[in-house]
Structure 1
Amino acid sequence: MGLLDDKVVLVNGGSQGVGAAVARAAVREGATVAVTGRRPGPGEALAAELSAAGGAARYIRADVSDAGQARSSVAEVIGAWGRIDCLVNAAGLTSRGTLLDTTPELFDQHVAVNLKGPFFAMQAAVADMVARKAPGTVVNIITSSAHGGQPFLAPYVAAKAGLIGLTRNAAHAHRWDRVRINGLNIGWTATEGEDATQREFHGAADGWLDEAAARLPMGKLGQPDEIADFVVLLLSDRSGVVTGSVIDWDQNVLGGLD
């Protein structure tokens, strides 16, 4: 449909999982795309895949938990293409910790990846949009667990709940600049990272995904390509004037009880 024709898009945490799916969908819709990640292997492979499919794409090695690298990833996009039109913050850390066993170091790691990185990437991207007096869009990938979540996700929930507040605050601050900022509270999603997390922290064996899917209302976990299509819609003009919205993209209903 060409929803993102001629748009320059940066996907932080875009070398795998939901971020990679967003990058593929954005290229398919006509965008020029850069993806960031800490590991060159997956990032370079994805950029090559997107380029081979006819898209303009590049990989930027960056650890967005470092504010300087989060900002410099935006600067590299602007240096390459003259501007940034769309930003997606898809990087996430989901290592486990409860209120009682979370160390200050683990807490700081979650804040750095799940809140500080998005903050400073948004700062750099929105600054470019405002300086050019051009409209732009940001989508933050958050989590339905930010409503409360499981006991073993305490630092993750704390940081992601902060990202909800940041999304709304920034959207309010920059609505007159025509910069639209929204978020998605995604539910349990089938990604490479989730597979590793289930095996590392919960002792999951082969076949865990099918067993988990069978217990869910729709018979499957969330799919990255489905999330990506929704993100592209929010990045595009087809989502109209919507800003400051944090949408629950999940098959569980907040407040619903059986």
Structure 2
Amino acid sequence: MGLRLLDDKVVLVNGGSQGVGAAIARAAVREGAVVVITGRRTEVGEKFAADTGAHFVRADLADPAQARDSVVRTVETHGRVDCLVNAAGLTSRGSLLDTTPELFDQHMAINLKAPFFAMQAAVADMTAREAPGTIVNIGSNCAHGGPPFLAPYSAAKAGLAGLTRNAAHAHRFDRIRINTVNIGWTDTEGEDVVQRAFHGAGDDWVAQAAARLPMGKLGQPDEIADFVVFLLSDRSGVVTGSVIDWDQNVLGILD
């Protein structure tokens, strides 16, 4: 077997037990990494780890101490963290008019605060070792504005885009590359739950949605995962501070 993209790298995927995070974890294992995933549901995380060869750490990322601790525990067990992926996300609905302070805080906790403090711990480990590293945040095209029913989500993802640029600039001379992938509408288990719970979707909602999209399909987690692994790897060169739209709609263009 030839050299794989992440051979001998220690990769932590926060929110890696389902959806896009799980696809990234599987791809990282395939590309030779030692992979640690986090999630709140122990049974789901342990089964995923057993099936893939990853390592599971239970963490409720709404708690910034546990977000930091996900990195600390990875370093304690595996000696270091080379790559961090912040893939956990909350997409519960709320508009400007009906979002409560509690819902707003939930979105900020998962979608912005957790990545901030996980990055803080990961960069601290990398700089202490004077070693390069890579971080990829999973953002959303809602960072550009988003629909009315995703007001707190859009605000948090816009913050994540700004955080990415700030941290990348701050640590570019430490050779730590930090990027965000703003994904569009994606076919995941979590999206299925949201569509049924908030939009009354039926069993054929994926097919109906796909028929309205330019490429005839929703974004696929495995395709996103391949792109994220590329960004984590040395193959992506010097790119840092980039917020990349991974979507089939071209924003800013009116039909």
Q: Which bracket does the TM-score occupy, shorter chain normalised?
A: over 0.9
1:244 aligned counterpart, secondary structure: coil
Counterpart of 2:60 in structure 1: which amino acid?
D
Matched, 1:162 2:164: no
Corresponding residue of 2:42: 40
Mark the runs of 5 or more structure 1 residues left unpaired by the alignment: 52-56
Counterpart of 2:146 in structure 1: which amino acid?
G
Which of 92, 96, 119 is residue 93 of structure 2 equivalent to?
Answer: 96
Shift of 1:42: 1.5
Q: C-alpha separation between the residues in 1 aligned to 2:87 and 2:7?
A: 21
Alignment of 1:207-218 (within 5 A): 207-218=204-215
Counterpart of 1:43 in structure 2: which amino acid?
G
2:61 aligned counterpart, secondary structure: coil
Q: C-alpha separation between the residues in 2 aligned to 1:250 and 1:7?
A: 28
Corresponding residue of 1:132: 129
Shift of 1:161: 0.4
Alignment of 1:170-185 (within 5 A): 170-185=167-182
Shift of 1:217: 0.3
Give the TM-score normalised by the residue count of structure 2: 0.98
Q: C-alpha separation between the residues in 1 aligned to 2:176 and 2:73?
A: 20
Counterpart of 1:70 in structure 2: which amino acid?
A
Which of 145, 148, 158 is residue 148 of structure 1 equivalent to?
Answer: 145
Which of 241, 244, 249 is residue 246 of structure 2 equivalent to?
Answer: 249
Corresponding residue of 1:223: 220
Shift of 1:107: 0.2
Shift of 1:135: 0.3
Counterpart of 2:29 in structure 1: which amino acid?
V
Mark the runs of 5 or more structure 2 residues left unpaired by the alignment: none
Corresponding residue of 1:107: 104
Shift of 1:175: 0.1
Corresponding residue of 1:31: 33
Q: C-alpha separation between the residues in 2 aligned to 1:64 and 1:11?
A: 12
Q: Please list the CA deviations of residues 22-53 of structure 1 after superposition, one character each: whole Å capped at 9, or x if unmatched.
A: 000000000000000000122111100112xx
1:10 aligned counterpart, secondary structure: strand
- Runs of 4+ more than 3 Å apart: none
Which of 12, 15, 18 is residue 14 of structure 2 equivalent to?
Answer: 12
Q: C-alpha separation between the residues in 1 aligned to 2:254 and 2:239?
A: 30
Counterpart of 1:110 in structure 2: which amino acid?
H
Instruction: Give the % identical residues.
Output: 77
Shift of 1:257: 1.6
Q: C-alpha separation between the residues in 2 aligned to 1:132 and 1:32?
A: 18
Matched, 1:60 2:57: yes
Matched, 1:49 2:51: yes
Counterpart of 2:168 in structure 1: which amino acid?
A
Counterpart of 1:20 in structure 2: which amino acid?
A
Shift of 1:255: 1.0
Counterpart of 1:39 in structure 2: which amino acid?
R
Which of 72, 77, 99 is residue 74 of structure 2 equivalent to?
Answer: 77
Corresponding residue of 1:54: none
